[in-house]
Amino acid sequence: MRAGAESGWDFSSRWLRDPRSLATIHTTDIVPVDLNSLIWAMERRIAARCQTAGDTPCATAFTTLATKRKTAIDRYLWQATTARYADWDLSTRIPTTSINAAMLHPLFVGLASPAQAKAVAATVRKSLVAEGGLRTTTLNTGQQWDEPNGWAPLQWVAIAGLERNGEPALAKDIARRWLGTVGAAYADTGKMLEKYNIEQRIPGGGGEYPVQDGFGWTNGVTSAILDRFPDLAQPSTSVRK
């Protein structure tokens, strides 16, 4: 439970043996693709800064770590037959069946090859694009990091990652859908919210506490999207910064 909360996805069918039962949570058995992508990016940045500082042993050490991590990600987390990155279950030694937005993190950090990015984009179009943005997962379980909820950080990872990897149209389409959701909920409530039901473009639900007003990451991502795609700033999607 603590590991699931610390993951940022508290809670999600990603961590459950039985997607309908929180009692089956086994987060510490899961090797997550998003965390490993972010660690790879961190290792690369440390290597680059060490190189700039003239610390060759440090640069070599962290370059080696990043290279080994990418090799492991490509071996265990990349699933060519299903055109996606998947979490790995250490207890069963097979990839999990969860189709979720974490698969876009390798694109976000620049780890995916052109062929991998193209395949992920196709899976996103098929399974994760909803009326009002990017789905978190494809399962409606009552957990808040599952369908029908959409979350601002995941929208940004998808938008930036897809645009970085030659999929600008899909990136902009997700941005447009998300702005429509934020704008519709703002018009109805006068608030920016923590999460949204992206199937109905209303405040999100599920989980163990009420939807929170605010909200830092929603405000920031919405502003960043509007800066990146100013032509999407229509009256129906505009919000106060």
> Does the active-site annotation cover 199?
no
Distance CA 101, CA 156 (A): 11
Instruction: Out of 89, 194, 208, 213, pick the active-site residue.
Output: 194
182: which residues sit within 8 A by CB, 6+ positions away? 192, 196, 218, 222, 237, 239
Alpha helix (H) ranges present in the chain? 2-6, 33-52, 56-72, 105-109, 114-123, 152-164, 168-189, 216-228
Q: How far is CA 130 from CA 84, 95, 142, 218, in A?
A: 18, 25, 18, 18
Neighbouring C-beta atoms of residue 6, cutoff 10 Å? 10
User: The tokens 């209303």 sit on which residue?
Assistant: 202
Helix (H) or strand (E) holding 141: none
**Catalytic residue (one of 10, 43, 163, 167):** 10
Q: Is-catalytic flag, 10?
A: yes
Whether the CB-CB separation of 124 and 169 falls below 8 Å is answered with no
Give the active site residues. Answer: 10, 194
